[in-house]
Structure 1
Amino acid sequence: MRRHFAILATIVVLGTPSVAHAWGQTGHRVIGEIAQQNVSGKTRAEIELILGNEDLAEASTWADEERSNPDVFWQREAGPYHYVTVPTGKAYTDVETPDEGDALSALERFTQVLRDPAATREDKALALRFVVHIVGDVHQPLHAGNGDDRGGNDVTVSWFGEETNLHSVWDSKLIDSRNLSYTEYANWLMRSIEPAQTITWWTADPLVWIAESTRIRDDIYPSEEAVNLGYAYQYEHLNTAEARLQQGGIRLAAYLDYVFANDAL
């Protein structure tokens, strides 16, 4: 991509994070690793043609790592590509896509690049890394923000006595409490995915993923009296976070198989 395919020159914050990195490195890499093990042989070959020896786990964090890149694309355009905004009580289809774009509009754009036979390998590499990242992002419930608190970034909580915010808890603190490497975590989670779950979860429709995240999002806010989060919150929500990692990995595989199918679905 020529870095000027973009839409506007300023980032407008619409209630979801502009600085937090969904899932952190561990979560994104877990999703990438699960997808790597579930894509078809054809898709795996297509990925290798674009990325060489770089696997999906490595590619998954690139869009966050480039946020400090001074290029205008990263500083003026790419920020909104990490989230969607869905007000409480509404579906994504009830909300107009913002002028500066969002995760779903970016996913559609980068998918077109991957399917364009005239696109360069460099353009396809940027597009593929973003697709991998975006699928992970929208499975983090607070990256389907309600428009009121920057995806939980403005919700101050403590996590086992450490002052932080709700978004950070869901990005990394919940899953980092397992104290596992991303490969250990991915293998652990893959062993518990039943074949029936893979079949049920196998959908390349991002509206399904966003609707799920929106429903979960509305149930994970602590009460004003319970902002000191610890073992009770971890017990209540860690399984949900891990399920979203599992689903994100399976959906990423499904989406990439869809992208690289001979015929559009």
Structure 2
Amino acid sequence: MRRAWFLALLAALPFPLAAPALAWDATGHMLVAAIAYDRLTPAARARADALLRRNPDYESWTAGLPPSGRARAAFLQAATWPDDIKGRQGYDPRSEDPATPAATRITGYADRREHREWHFVDIPFSPDGLPVQGPPRSNAQVMITTARGVLAAADRTADARSYSLVWLLHLVGDIHQPLHAAERVTARHPKGDRGGNDVPVCTETCGHRLHSVWDEALGRNLPLDAILAKARALPAAPAASVARMDPAAWARESHALARDVVYAPPVRADGQPSQLTEAYMQRAEAVAASQAALAGARLASLLNAALK
């Protein structure tokens, strides 16, 4: 029934849609990818689709879709692949030793590590003046730079370039989520709060974590028509901001938003659940929307350059 509904929707709209993805926070990543896809050059779209065909999930991404809809479908769903493999049979959740070159090496789909450490660059800060340590060597900022280089390199294998592409589709979204670029060090969390994952909060109900609230600020499990409508409706990111193409600058921007907005009152630092107000949630949604628009535009610029 769900597939029949989706195909009917696909046929009724004047542009191709993607098939539904089931990753728990797929909405935000697919929204960023949708924004980027519409800004790609025709040549970059064609080269991206050719590379994505090498992903082991390509057939499932495009099953049942007409040829005209497959490229967009694969592009949007590829943005969720680094999350989709978490916990999947045959993938190893253990991280490489961050002190070794293997921690940041890209070889291709034969690499069966989940690389969970690649998803964030948790730059620590302490409002109490406690000592902090920098993020590990293998992080989102480093891997965006690494994957961009591999994708643009004509002498690298198509497999390694395809693997780099799916990670770029995901990581550019991740690094624009403020809590993927910060963690707070306090007396309660002297080793850091893991990007807000250890901060309990209440919205309509309690039992949530600050990180998950921000992961879902763009929506959760939205239907595909809603994702594409939202991508089209978001105001365009300022050109001057889009032009800043340094991943280190992206991390600093997200870190500043975390300090100034994410951890602002009513978020507590004593370990007790924080009751998030309607005003806080509205600001979170506005910041998330702005960051998604910026991430999508920057992702498109990155891919247009790497795939030219």
Q: Which of the five TM-score ranges fits, normalised by the shorter chain?
A: 0.7 to 0.9
1:192-211 equivalence runs, <5 A: 192-194=234-236, 197-198=238-239, 200-211=241-252
Which moved further from structure 2: 180-189 or 127-136? 180-189
The equivalent of 2:10 in structure 1 is none
State the aligned residue count: 232
State the structure with bigger RCO (CA 8 A, min sep 6), 1 or 2. 1
For residue 187 of structure 1, report the CA deviation from its aligned partner: 2.8
Kindly report which structure 2 residues correspond to 1:1-265, keeping only aligned pairs within 5 A, or say none.
Answer: 24-52=25-53, 53=71, 55-71=74-90, 74-77=93-96, 78-88=115-125, 98-99=136-137, 101-146=138-183, 148-172=192-216, 174-176=217-219, 180-194=222-236, 197-198=238-239, 200-218=241-259, 219-221=261-263, 222-224=266-268, 227-261=274-308
Match in the other structure for 1:15: none
Normalising by structure 1, report the TM-score: 0.77
Shift of 1:125: 1.7
Deviation for aligned residue 1:166: 0.2
Query: Is residue 175–residue 250 contact of structure 2 (8 Å, CA) maintained in 1?
Result: yes
C-alpha offsets along residues 87-116 of structure 1, whole Å, 9 cap, x if unaligned?
238xxxxx86624x1112222222232123
- Please tell me whether the aligned partners of residues 35 and 253 of structure 1 are also in contact (alpha carbons under 8 angstroms): yes
Greater C-alpha radius of gyration? 2
Change (3 A) 1:74 1:45: farther
Which has more helix, going by share of residues? 1
Shift of 1:71: 4.6
User: What is the rounded CA distance, in whole Å, between the counterparts of 2:292 and 2:222 in structure 1?
Assistant: 14
Q: Which amino acid aligns with 2:180?
A: H
User: Could you report, residue by residue, the CA deviation over 1:120-153 in whole angstroms, capped at 9, with x for unpaired residues?
Assistant: 3222221110011110000000000236100000
- 1:199 deviates by 5.5
Structure 2 residue identity aligned to 1:223: V
For residues 37 and 183 of structure 1, what CA distance do their matches in structure 2 show? 15
* Per-residue deviation, 1:167: 0.2
CA 1:211–1:67 in 2, change beyond 3 Å: closer, same or farther?
Answer: same
**TM score, norm. by length of structure 2:** 0.67
Offset of residue 80 of structure 1 = 1.0
Note if contact 2:148-2:164 (Cα within 8 Å) is conserved in structure 1: yes
Q: Displacement of 1:48 after TM fit?
A: 1.6
Q: What is the root-mean-square deviation of aligned Cα atoms in Å? A: 2.8
